[in-house]
Structure 1
Amino acid sequence: MGTLGRAMVNVGRREVKPFMSRNSAEARLRVLNLYRAWYRSIPKICHLYRLPVRPHQLRDRIRDEFYRNSHVNDVRAVDYLVIKGRMELQETMEKWKQDHHILAFIKHDTKVEQPTQFLAKFFTQK
């Protein structure tokens, strides 16, 4: 098994290049910067769309959305979510969304329905 065998083994080991972040600490900083950007833009969003809700309700909803994705550990997946979040923020701030898009986002129920059956409870445990 000469050089041909070694070449075939090396083909199986590919390094995946990151989108933006090199490690999890850098990805975490990007997430925090995105969260701050959303948090700082909330008063402007409420004014632009003339929302019938208070800014703290929008803050709660954005926080829930970030918590919903808090289980993601892969750096590339985190970068992808940050890119999507930046796009959402830009679309919102440029008023490319309609008022009902924002209201649907705020009113979206983030509560997960808890199982009542024994086996369903067992399978959903961590």
Structure 2
Amino acid sequence: MSGKALVEGMISPNKAVARTRVIGLYRAWFRSIPEIIQIFRLEKTPQECRDKLKEKFMVNKDVDDVRVIDMLTIKGQMELDETMKVWKQKTHVMRFWEDPAGPKPQPTFLEKFLKGR
């Protein structure tokens, strides 16, 4: 069996199949939320976690390329597997709630001075 044949089996033949896989992944995450909260002793409610899950999935709602959808689905499944096998620590799980832009840098004294503050 060639490597190409192995990869072709993972690629969705069309957008409908890819969509079905995404929905299956979403449901798997959704069902795992109570267990994730318990395993990592999160100070989050199940509803907060479900809202964040929906937010994370909605970021990629406009992706049309089936190959990209498959790649994102595979990465999402790997994240779920790593989370459920406790290959992550609580800090890794809590990073889902961080602002992706990061904290805004505070202006230094010199920057404030030059702006006339």
- How does the TM-score come out when normalised to structure 2? 0.75
Distance 1:72 1:18 in 2: 21
Distance 1:75 1:104 in 2: 28
AA at the equivalent of 1:49: F
Q: 1:18 to 1:77 in 2, by over 3 A?
A: farther
AA at the equivalent of 2:95: A
- Per-residue Cα deviation, 1:40-92 (whole angstroms, up to 9, x for no partner): 00000000001011111111111101000111100010000000000000000
Q: Which residue of 2 aligns with 1:41?
A: 32
Distance 2:51 2:100 in 1: 11
Q: Which residue of 1 aligns with 2:99?
A: 109
Distance 2:16 2:41 in 1: 37
Aligned counterpart for 2:19 among listed residues 21, 24, 28: 28
Distance 2:40 2:10 in 1: 33
Structure 2: unaligned runs, 5 residues or longer: 1-7, 102-117
Quote the RMSD (CA, aligned, Å): 1.6
AA at the equivalent of 2:55: D
Larger Rg: 1
CA-CA distance at 1:19 after TM superposition: 3.7
Structure 1: unaligned runs, 5 residues or longer: 1-16, 112-126
Q: Which residue of 2 aligns with 1:87?
A: 78
Q: What is the aligned residue count?
A: 94
CA-CA distance at 1:18 after TM superposition: 7.3
- Runs of 4+, deviation exceeding 3 Å: none
Q: Which residue of 1 aligns with 2:46?
A: 55
**Percent identity, aligned pairs only?**
48
The answer as to whether partners of 1:18 and 1:76 remain within 8 angstroms in 2 is: no
